Amino acid sequence: MISELFKRLEFYLDARQNKEIFIYPGLNLGVEHSDAHTQAEATVFGFWVFLMSDAIIFGMAFATYATLLHGTADSPGPRELYHLGPIFIETLLLLTSSFTFGMASIAMKYKHPTSRLVGWLLITLVLGVVFLGMELNDFRAMFAAGGLPTQSGFLSGFFGLVPLHGLHVMAGCIWLVCMLGQIAVHGLDSETKLGLLRLALFWHFLDIVWIFIFSVVYLAGLA
């Protein structure tokens, strides 16, 4: 009788643990993080709305670039200014940083030691900073080859679009440093967890924007 009862309890707990209740986009913290999990629904949905409006801004920057693409005004065009090698490495850096942020999210969700979470976040930050450094180097090479934003419509469109993404990545890096500071000062409380959830969405979103930048701008420009 008693063992029957325990079996039922076991079954109930299993069901409770197995049943993931998804209430917001991105990796859900789950019932283990009761406070942050319930707060997250409205907070993360609001952030998701922001990301979608940001996507519209990027979309319009892409449309502007496409409109101005043929207006090179006898200054250097895509073939003279774009180099596939650095762009390929930058793509891998950003993709890997998305993966390492995913590992950080898992470390947070499954309550691994905080040091492991911080480690993954630091790797992500380094990858983001190296990406920015390489991108700045690309821009410098473009300037040296006569590709200044004032030269032509094409270059204005380019420098309206690609550095806009770079600025977002820079904002993401600064935000990441702020989150590391919050972890150091407050530990992993609900506020910090919610911040990390939103930053994860932001980071993955920027990687999606980059897919379109390397495809539409660089690959199509060199095809």
Partner 1 sequence: MSEPIVTRTSATNALRANERRDFMSYMWGFGLALGLTLVPFALVQWQAMARDPLLITIAVLALVQTVVHFRYFLHLDRKRKREDLLLVLFSTSLLIIMVAGTIWIMANLAERMTPI
Point out which residues bind partner 1 (CB under 8 A). Answer: 3, 6, 9-10, 13-14, 17-18, 20, 22-28, 30, 32, 45, 48-49, 52-53, 55-56, 59-60, 62-64, 66-67, 70, 84, 88, 91-92, 95-96, 98-99, 102-103, 106, 109-110, 201, 204-205, 207-208, 211-212, 214-216, 219-220, 222-223
Identify the CA nearest to 57 among candidates 223, 212, 214. 212
Identify the CA nearest to 165 among candidates 145, 141, 143, 135. 135
Smallest distance, Å, CB 102 to partner 1?
A: 4
Identify the CA nearest to 155 among candidates 206, 217, 213, 84. 217
Smallest distance, Å, CB 131 to partner 1?
A: 14
- On the CB side of 138, CA atoms within 13 Å amount to 24
Residue with tokens 């932001």: 202
**10 Å Cβ neighbour count for 181?**
11
Q: In the complex with partner 1, which residue's Cβ is closer, 53 or 150?
A: 53
Q: In the complex with partner 1, which residue's Cβ is closer, 73 or 211?
A: 211
Q: In the complex with partner 1, which residue's Cβ is closer, 99 or 139?
A: 99
Smallest distance, Å, CB 185 to partner 1?
A: 28
Smallest distance, Å, CB 119 to partner 1?
A: 16
Smallest distance, Å, CB 59 to partner 1?
A: 4
20, 105, 108, 133 alpha-carbon torsion, rounded to 10°? -170
Smallest distance, Å, CB 142 to partner 1?
A: 19
Q: Which long-range contacts (CB under 8 A, 24 or more apart) does 138-143 make?
A: 138/83, 138/86, 138/87, 138/90, 139/163, 141/83, 142/81
Q: In the complex with partner 1, which residue's Cβ is closer, 125 or 200?
A: 200
- Asked whether the beta carbons of 199 and 181 are under 8 A apart, the reply is no
Q: In the complex with partner 1, which residue's Cβ is closer, 101 or 159?
A: 101
Q: In the complex with partner 1, which residue's Cβ is closer, 49 or 136?
A: 49
